[in-house]
Structure 1
């Protein structure tokens, strides 16, 4: 079946997302390991991605865990350093698809406030035809409901959507709804898939 629209995840597809790398620099690997083993920081972030207020959520988590309070607040104060840099080749692919008039959507686990921060640093986040951001939707991938919500709004049959994401569980959930999928392991692989689907030429995908 032909592809009518391409759906991009954002974290680790268009923008690198690596809190552990940031904390290794900020507090040292030993302290980072201690903190991440003791606390579910990614679970905290999931609450933000589901729509809870970013500042309130991180501050409350810091207050609940005073032994790591200072480090936890770095998640809030230096968030953009965890969400960087942009993956330039992926951004070029997004823009090449737009030049070809291929509809491009975003489907990403992102908080309301953190997405606003991201927009300030990465103007390409405003270039999608539609953006499906979990914080606004109240549900995160890989919950089947978020894919259903995209289908209800996208205007295309599920089988004509090509979705790329770096997490196998998110890809499996999309495949279960009959979406076409590409497990992202670098922009070169995505570029090859877009050429294979005849959405871009090799030159456009470079």
Structure 2
């Protein structure tokens, strides 16, 4: 067995979270959504919240720069829950199966400390992790090496003992550079195959439809 602990990302791997889910309700078409999220409420702006900035501060600063879009910017927090649309098909089932089979499961997530409790209350699967590191609580974010080292210290593990799964290539590369076995997530079927290839997927961890 090449790894003995599995470390998940959450958004985009276990939970389908995207600002686009909200802004498709607020803007006329996909082009307008892409423009707004590419030029106003950008990924870099959102990462400030993942790193611990209060939403009130980030929204006030951005609204001052784009006063004509202040209502849309405010919706980023006021209607944040509409960015959540459910579990990623199949991945949460894999996590539940791994946990039930006794495989150590952990998580390192870039997520605001303000909004993570909302997601955790909606999706009980997020209670299954043995060690959970949320960037907004720690004020450090992936792909910075510091958050990976914090996880390893907290879990009492060496990087070589861990398989890390993330949908962001930069995060996967950062984990690999530290010594994690690391997988770029695309879908649950591919992940199951990758786990099976590493002898990390006990039969009892497979969703019922996959095991039959």
Q: What's the TM-score, normalizing by structure 2?
A: 0.89
Q: Does 1:164 align with 2:165?
A: yes
Q: In structure 2, the residue corresponding to 1:170 is in which secondary structure?
A: helix
Query: Structure 1's 72 and 156: CA in aligned 2 closer, same or farther, altered over 3 A?
Result: same
CA-atom RMSD in angstroms: 1.8
Q: In structure 1, the residue corresponding to 2:17 is in which secondary structure?
A: coil
1:100 Cα offset (Å):
1.3
Which residue number in structure 2 is paired with residue 178 of structure 1?
179
Unaligned residue ranges in structure 2 (runs of 5+): none
Unaligned residue ranges in structure 1 (runs of 5+): none
- 1:138-168 deviation line (CA, Å, top 9, x unaligned): 1111011111111211112211100000011
1:202 Cα offset (Å):
4.9
1:10-159, aligned counterparts within 5 Å? Answer: 10-29=10-29, 30-159=31-160
Query: Structure 1's 97 and 39: CA in aligned 2 closer, same or farther, altered over 3 A?
Result: same
Q: In structure 1, the residue corresponding to 2:163 is in which secondary structure?
A: strand
Q: How many residues align?
A: 206
1:41 Cα offset (Å):
2.5
Q: In structure 2, the residue corresponding to 1:12 is in which secondary structure?
A: coil
More moved, 39-48 vs 128-137: 39-48
Query: Structure 1's 159 and 64: CA in aligned 2 closer, same or farther, altered over 3 A?
Result: same
Which residue number in structure 1 is paired with residue 2 of structure 2?
2
Which residue number in structure 1 is paired with residue 190 of structure 2?
189
Looking at structure 2, the residues matched to 2 and 38 of structure 1 have their Cα atoms a distance apart, in angstroms, of: 42
Query: Structure 1's 112 and 204: CA in aligned 2 closer, same or farther, altered over 3 A?
Result: same
Q: Which runs of 4+ in 1 moved over 3 A?
A: 201-204
1:80 Cα offset (Å):
1.9
1:32 Cα offset (Å):
2.4
Query: Structure 1's 41 and 48: CA in aligned 2 closer, same or farther, altered over 3 A?
Result: same
More moved, 43-52 vs 82-91: 82-91
1:83 Cα offset (Å):
2.6
1:101 Cα offset (Å):
1.1
Does the 8 Å contact 1:54/1:114 carry over to 2? no
